[in-house]
Amino acid sequence: MLNAICLPLGMSRNDVLVMDELIKERVRLAKGAALYSLGDPVEAIYGIRYGSLKTQVQNASGQMQVTGFLLPGEVVGLDSLSDERHGSHAISLEDSEVCVIHLDEMDELAPRLPVLQTQLRRLMGKEITRSHQLVMTLGSLRSEQRLAAFLLNLSQRLSTLGYSPHEFLLRMSRQEIGNFLGLTLETVSRLFSRFARDGLIRVQQREVQILDMDALRVLSGTDCG
């Protein structure tokens, strides 16, 4: 479905074909491989063709904080465009492939693909919105609201990509989810069990089935889009 797409959402099929013709360089990543690391020179942004990645930052003591999980059709590296070096790591959660959009080629692409600048502005706006939502989630929501909001957000993003919003596989571990949401591994595991016991979800290993979407929305108490 998305096999020829690097920056798909909101682009016409013709624009997608032009984009795929212009952007030839692609990078394949094995599970656990780094697309880029903290301190690497910023040379490009990357559109995920398939697979998924996580981004994480590192403090002075070496402690890692997961800052996001990215899916096919989403773009990695926007958070470093204002700097010469990356301020985060981008790690593949599974075998993945990204297309490479070099920064020094963007001006050359723009005349042939005017929608590119519009897309990048939209994506940067979404990145800022995502950061705001994360701050709100970590700052004001109870633990069960955080996990409910996380599952709903993932469901909505997968639905936008054409996948089932009700059944999906979590590519990230419970520990990574907890790190992202500011919760302990034990709390995340306990909440998954509680949600299953209350009939909100069915969960087996990393397979999740949402059984009561409306109740999950009520529990989250927030707009998870």
| pLDDT of 157 higher than 70 | yes
Q: Are 159 and 194 in contact (CB under 8 A)?
A: no
Q: pLDDT category, 11, cuts 50, 70, 90?
A: low
Domains in the chain, CATH or no CATH each: 13-124 (2.60.120.10), 141-220 (1.10.10.10)
Give tens-digit pLDDT for 30-41: 999 999 999 999
Kindly report the average pLDDT of the chain as a whole number. 83
Q: pLDDT category, 3, cuts 50, 70, 90?
A: very low
Task: Find all residues with CB under 8 Å of 69, minimum gap 6, and list them.
Answer: 52, 53, 54, 93, 154, 171, 172, 176, 180
Give tens-digit pLDDT for 21-68: 667 788 999 999 999 999 999 988 888 888 999 999 988 788 899 999
Q: Which residue has the higher pLDDT, 5 or 155?
A: 155
21 by Cβ neighbours in 10 Å (0-12 / 13-18 / 19+) ranks as: exposed
Give tens-digit pLDDT for 87-125: 899 999 999 999 888 887 777 777 777 766 776 776 666
